[in-house]
Amino acid sequence: MGLQFYDVAHLAFYFGVSYEAGWRRLKALQIISEEVRENLAQKQAAASSFRCVHGERYLAHRQRFNRRESTFQHKLLSMALGAYWVGEISRG
């Protein structure tokens, strides 16, 4: 199915950036193609609505994690992205 606007909206919320900054960063890292970037850019309104509707749910979810668990998740994500960038793992 591939990356959807709500995936980028969730990542953007998690990292505290805008939806646009999220897809721009994914493109800069060459994780998404130009075609996917264009599709995500066209979904700006849908992503804004999604974040408004689900924002409170995400805030509640994030507050359940204590600092230690959050740090572990961040390290795991960083390691996974690093492994992807050096070709140790694939997008799949």
What does the pLDDT look like over 43-60, one tens digit per residue?
Answer: 988 888 877 776 666 666
The full 3-state SS of 6-61, as one line of letters, equals HHHHHHHHHHCCCHHHHHHHHHHCCCCCHHHHHHHHHCHHHHHHHHHHHHHHHHHH
Place of tokens 């805030």: 59
- Work out the average pLDDT over 66-81: 69
The two tokens of residue 25 are 């960063």
Domain-located, residue 47: yes
Domain-located, residue 91: no
Tell me which residue range forms the domain holding 18. Answer: 5-65
The rounded percent of the chain whose pLDDT value lies above 90 is 23
Domain-located, residue 31: yes
pLDDT band of residue 83 (cuts 50, 70, 90) is confident
- How far is 83 from 91, CA to CA, in rounded Å? 10
Domain-located, residue 35: yes
Domain-located, residue 38: yes
Neighbours of 13 (CB within 10 A): 20
Please state the domain count of the chain: 1
